[in-house]
Structure 1
Amino acid sequence: MGTESAVRPRQRARHLGPERRRPQVLDTALQIAADDGIAAVTIAAIADRMKVTRPVVYACFADRVELIEALLRREEDLMLAGVLDALPRRRVEADEAVFVEGFRALLHTTSARPDGWRLLYGNPDPAVASSFGRARELAVERCTRRLRPTLRAWGTVDAERKLAALVELWVSAGEGAVRTMLTDPGDWTPDTLGEFVGAAVYRALRNA
């Protein structure tokens, strides 16, 4: 009886279906990429770390290329969701609290999934760089859409001429805050850093 009980958990794990294993495989791939770089993500490395055979991983993804594409797509989608959630909800008359709330949300997203952000953010690997480039382009497009009516509502002089430069300032400030959170947080928390950067960006845009 005791022997059967000891064996059953291993049997269940061994026969776990591909649909349920895929997230585990991707999580393991992300850990390897965070530790050793995307080049270290191989079927063999994943199988070894998960303590399963290679066919178990191949049942989830046909090959390494498909696996890495799925990993990048998942992390890009999560990063984009975090960026879009951080944008101010109100399109006009945004005040300082709106920008602070947005930057805090962005940094909480960063802190919740640091390995995913490290994988995509500023990664020099060509396989990864294009994903971050697409995410940044979307962030610029959405920020432009949000900021245009706000500048008009504020009565910003030459608002349309200044718009692109101010959006770049806003997006770059977000990248800088994320970089600080990932590489050198010091005494900052997502809330305190979000408050500081959000207030600074608001004042810069408001007084432009």
Structure 2
Amino acid sequence: MTIGAIADRMSVTRPVVYKCFADRVELIEELLQRESALVHDGLVAALHQAQGPDPEAAFITGYTAMLRFIESRPGAWRLLFSADPDPAVAANFAAAKQAVAHHSSRWIRPALESWWGKTDLDTKLPALIELFMASGEAAARTILDPESHWTPDALGEFYGRIMCQAFRAA
């Protein structure tokens, strides 16, 4: 990503872009800050939809809500999942992921205690959250893949069932 490429995409000159942003890093940081807030709020909203007495239904609802949200903002997600994030903003990516993992832990822990009476979560929860985050990223990449034929509803059901079984087995 260069200022020249951004200016070309916006059909303006580079000085116009430089009037708004000191450099490429500032522009990327501003974009990431805006998109990270939207992504975080969307993921938290999806996570909060995943509730109720039926664990499988909750997992399916959560994954489906997440995938619908991802499908609604594919550009932001492609930026977040770029294979080689700019080193100048890599810390922002890591911080956003850590915030979602932390929020997920606070939401999932009571559900696991309620649904399955899990009591040894101090040991297991970090590994389960890592699995949860990885599965969410895999599902997101699948929805974003132009060659994929999955819909958010079908993939949400697929991942929801799988992850429910994984968490139950833990």
1:6-155 alignment runs, 5 A limit:
38=1, 41-42=2-3, 44-89=4-49, 93=53, 95-124=55-84, 125-153=86-114, 154-155=116-117
Q: Is the 8 A contact 1:111 1:190 kept in 2?
A: yes
Structure 1 pair 151/57, CA: closer, same or farther in 2 (3 Å)? same
Matched residue type, 2:121? A
Over aligned residue pairs, what C-alpha RMSD do you find? 2.3
What runs of 5+ residues in structure 1 fail to find an aligned partner?
A: 1-37
Higher CA-based Rg? 1
Query: 1:121: Cα distance to partner?
Result: 1.7
What is the TM-score when the length of structure 1 is the normalising length? 0.70
TM-score with structure 2 length normalisation?
A: 0.84
Deviation at 1:187, TM superposition (A): 2.0
Aligned length: 168
Hey, what's the Cα distance between the residues in 1 that align with 2:146 and 2:10? 31
- Structure showing greater relative contact order (alpha-carbon pairs closer than 8 Å, 6 or more residues apart): 2
* Amino acid corresponding to residue 106 of structure 2 in structure 1: R
Which residue of 145, 151, 155 corresponds with 1:183?
145
Letter in 2 for 1:136: K
| Paired position in structure 2 for 1:164 | 126
Rounded to whole Å, the distance in 2 between the matches of 1:137 and 1:130 is 10
SS at match of 1:85: helix
State percent identity of aligned pairs: 48
